[in-house]
């Protein structure tokens, strides 16, 4: 490698670190506008409870996943075995810190729906919909099934990465994060649509999330390019999928807030259609 190429690589690595910590800051700050807004309004109306319900599961799964890629020698060895060209996972410490911090804040937001804790006014629906609860428990069951398969069919109790291995359990946790990321936004999009308002839904969260998503994708592209193998993208499907899915829904929310529903008037309308309307899922009380 020539001196010029070496300097370019060092520069690219520095840019990657800057992007990583910047998106970590954006995404970390994005958790605060919603609980602060709820506290100022003394209400969670306008926020679909499905959103924090999914987030609690998703970020706990993501925390375990990133921690395993960083600190588990078994997971790192199995990853290297399956990705010999680029044996180093593209997960960074800021990914883990973001996930753990996010899990904690999501639990706080979810707790704000309990009036006996915060005393806030809540909407008519105080539990997640059957669809979301089904996906919630189905995701947990899926991880347990993969774990059982690893224990039964895996070589050396899952420590041999050539067959079913503990890495597959970590991948399953990662896909749980992807699944709930897709699902968690849909009820909120519908709530905004039905109320014809985004009052109670903190748009600052979306702006910060959008910025973080762009920067996260940029870091992943740089890291994979430096490794000279784009399997760094497929080897970290959680980070890639999370960025693209979040960006798409962020654009939808920005359109709702700045274009479609610009009124600042609050509303106490039902947050979810009932069974007779035949839409999505019935309410659960």
Residue 273: is its pLDDT beyond 50? no
- Secondary structure letter of residue 127 according to DSSP: S
pLDDT at 285: 28
Question: What is the average per-residue pLDDT within 198-214?
Answer: 91
Other CB atoms within 10 A of residue 197 CB: 22
The rounded distance, in Å, linking the Cα atoms of 28 and 66 is 16
Average pLDDT over residues 169-184: 88
Q: Cα–Cα distance between 121 and 113 in angstroms, integer?
A: 8
Whether 158 and 78 have beta carbons less than 8 Å apart is answered as no
Check pLDDT > 80 for residue 236. no
Fill in the DSSP letter of residue 279.
-
Q: For 46, left (φ over 0), alpha (ψ -120 to 50), or beta?
A: left
What average pLDDT does range 1-30 have in this prediction? 79
**pLDDT at position 270 over 60:** no
Contact 122, 45 (CB under 8 A): yes
Model's pTM, two decimal places? 0.77
Q: Give me the pLDDT at residue 73, please.
A: 85
**How far is residue 170's CA from residue 90's CA, in Å, rounded to a whole number?**
14
pLDDT at 9: 74
Q: Is 80 exceeded by the pLDDT of residue 258?
A: yes
Average pLDDT over residues 212-238: 71
Q: Has residue 64 got a pLDDT over 90?
A: yes
């Amino acid at each position: 490698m020539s001196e010029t190429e070496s300097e370019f690589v060092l520069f690219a690595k520095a840019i990657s670190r800057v992007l990583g910590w910047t998106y970590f800051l954006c995404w970390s700050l994005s958790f605060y506008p919603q609980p602060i807004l709820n506290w100022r309004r003394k209400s969670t109306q306008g926020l679909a409870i499905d959103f924090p319900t999914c987030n609690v599961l998703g970020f706990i799964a993501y925390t375990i996943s990133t921690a395993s890629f960083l600190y588990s020698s078994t997971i790192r060895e199995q990853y290297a075995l399956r990705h010999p060209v680029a044996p180093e996972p593209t997960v960074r410490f800021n990914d883990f810190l973001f996930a753990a911090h996010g899990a904690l804040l999501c639990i706080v937001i979810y707790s704000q729906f309990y009036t006996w804790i915060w005393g806030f006014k809540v909407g008519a629906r105080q539990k997640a919909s059957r669809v979301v609860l089904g996906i919630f428990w189905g995701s947990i069951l899926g991880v347990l099934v993969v774990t059982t398969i690893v224990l039964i069919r895996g070589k050396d109790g899952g420590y041999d990465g050539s067959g079913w291995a503990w890495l597959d359990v970590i991948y399953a946790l990662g896909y749980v994060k992807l699944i709930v990321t897709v699902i968690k936004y849909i009820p909120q999009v519908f709530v905004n649509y039905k109320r014809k308002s985004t009052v109670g839904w903190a748009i600052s969260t979306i702006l910060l999330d959008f910025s973080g998503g762009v920067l996260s994708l940029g870091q992943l592209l740089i890291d994979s390019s430096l490794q000279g193998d784009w399997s760094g993208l497929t080897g970290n499907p959680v980070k890639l999928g999370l960025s693209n899915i979040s960006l798409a829904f962020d654009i939808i929310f920005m359109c709702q807030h700045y274009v479609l529903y610009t009124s600042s008037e609050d509303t106490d309308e039902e947050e979810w259609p009932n069974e007779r309307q035949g839409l999505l899922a019935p309410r659960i009380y």
